[in-house]
Amino acid sequence: MNLPEGLSDLAERPRNIWAQAGQNQRYAILGGFVLVFLALFIGVMALGGNGEEWEPAILYANLDYQEAAEISNRLGAIGIDYKLTEDASTIVVPKDQVRDLRLQLAGEGFPKSGRMGYEIFEEAQLAMTDFLQKVNFQRALQEELEETLMDIEGVRNVRIHLVIPEPSLFTEEQNPVTASVTLALVSGTKLKPKKIDAIAHLVGASVEGLDVENVVIVDSEGNMLTEEKDPLVNLANKQFRMQQQVEYALEKKVQTLMDEVIGKDRSKVRVNVELDFSQQDRQEQVVTPGATQVIISEETNEKSSAEQGTEEQAIRNYEVNRTVRNIIGSVGSINRLSMALTIDKTKVIWNEETEVYEEENRPQEEIQNLEKLAKKAVGFSDERGDQIEVFPMLFDKSQDIQAKREAKAEERQQFWTDIAINVAKILLIIGALVVLRFVIKAIGRGVGMEEELEVLGEVQTEVDAEDDFERPETPHEIILRRVQDMVRDRPEDSAKLIRTMLLEEQQ
């Protein structure tokens, strides 16, 4: 079949490109065709996969990863379409299959960790009694609260039980609404009292008629997290926590100071404080007599007699300078402080002569200076009767010395390794320069040969072209031609010229 000239060129062009391409270029062309085919295939599949759409509905929510995987595998095994949320805790299935799937999976023991919450009311039941409605409402409320508390940082799992009594006709006989909360915390997490109070207030505000005092919170180990209702017990607990906080703050001050001065794990400190929680109200009056001359009252008496005449007596009352002070003592002030400080008796030094780490006794002056630092850190006062004891003791430093020896060995090894790497780099650079020199020479020789070949080609071209046109004469050829003409036309003059030139050379 004869094709037009343009179409024939188009058909031959890919063949020529394929014939002229190298092996790597052919692989690249084949890979490009494969990628384009895969992209088209995926696009067609994606467009064709949107044909099946179903209305989603929540099957189970707040599942842990293990149970979500089990239920997903089970749904896939029975051929049910499902979707997982981004956090893989909620499973969504077609809405018309929710009820049947819940019944089927309930017979198999699912779910174990999920909560349904208010989703339980999505299934409308015609024959539902008031009692069942109340039970479902209480269940939904409990599970909604559990789901809310699960979002708190540090809380791994929550169980809530509400006791909502039936309303009574008489207010005196009405039982209060109560709630119990069990928190399973993340390992190593300890909730602060403010966060525990916030949880109690959240639960109390979410349930009608529930007072915060009737909310009990415990952890998974059975420890009471809410405070006692007895005011005296609460007061004692607060005072004890305050004492612990003061002791911890003072210990941290001294410990961080010692760690920075003599090293970590080279000292231990313990502080005991006695706090004064009594509130004292004291009034002081300071009287300064004679400070002012202000008369506040004056009484004059006169006596008359024949012998002494008239006598006059005056009684004056002056204002007294008085200062009144009402002093209220602070609650929780430190009455007395005692501290025990244990310091490592020896320290590790590097011996330059033997090149090993050795233990050396700490000077007594250094121990005394450390004691002074500790006193300044805690605000030591002799007037309060504070006490401090420093105990120099031997600490186990075998691991410390071994670690320092290994670090020293690593440092030396790293030093020689760096030297070896730098030497290798220099040798590689020298080798690369030598190779580059040979390459440049080879390239130069190749370029020279190419130039020679080009010159030879040009000469050969000129020789071949002499038959086509006359080559122009050179100056030498012009002079030679003129000399020949002169000899031929004027031989006598030429002979005289030659004799004259010979005589000049002889002279």
Report angle CA 89, 91, 95 to the nearest 5 degrees.
150
Q: Helix 130-149 to helix 193-206 angle, to the nearest 10 degrees?
A: 150
Which CATH entry fits the domain spanning 56-121: 1.20.1270.360, 3.30.70.270, 3.30.70.1530, 3.40.50.300?
Answer: 3.30.70.1530
Instruction: Provide the pairing of β-strand 210-219 with 177-185.
Output: parallel
Instruction: Provide the pairing of β-strand 387-393 with 333-344.
Output: parallel
pLDDT at position 1 is: 46
**Cis preceding-peptide flag for 14 (omega within 30 of 0):** no
DSSP 68-109: HHHHHHHHHHTT---EE-TTS--EEEEGGGHHHHHHHHHHTT
CATH architecture of 244-279+330-395: 2-Layer Sandwich (3.30)
Instruction: Reduce the secondary structure of 200-245 to three states and give it as a string.
Output: HHHHHHHCCCEEEEEEEEEECCCCECCCCCCHHHHHHHHHHHHHHH
- Residue 200 has a CB neighbour count (10 Å cut-off) of 22
pLDDT at position 254 is: 92
Cα separation, 29 vs 53, whole angstroms:
39
8-state DSSP, 285? E
pTM of the model: 0.43
**How would you write the pLDDT of the chain (507 residues) with one tens digit per residue?**
444 555 455 556 666 666 666 666 665 666 666 665 665 655 555 444 444 567 888 888 777 777 888 888 888 888 888 888 877 778 888 988 888 888 888 777 777 655 555 555 555 566 667 777 788 888 888 888 988 888 888 888 888 999 988 877 776 777 889 999 999 888 788 888 889 989 999 999 989 889 888 899 999 888 888 877 677 777 787 888 888 899 999 999 999 999 898 888 888 999 999 888 776 666 666 666 655 566 667 777 777 766 666 777 777 776 666 676 766 666 678 889 999 999 988 887 777 777 777 788 888 898 899 999 999 999 898 888 899 999 998 887 777 777 777 887 888 888 888 888 888 888 888 877 777 776 676 665 554 555 555 555 554 555 455 555 455 666 667 767 776 777 677 777 767 777 776 666 555
pLDDT at position 13 is: 63
Cα separation, 386 vs 394, whole angstroms:
26
pLDDT at position 86 is: 79
pLDDT at position 181 is: 93
Q: Superfamily for 130-227? A: ANL, C-terminal domain (3.30.300.30)
Pair 195, 152: CB distance under 8 Å: yes
The SS3 call for residue 154 is coil
pLDDT at position 166 is: 83
pLDDT at position 3 is: 46
Cα separation, 228 vs 197, whole angstroms:
12
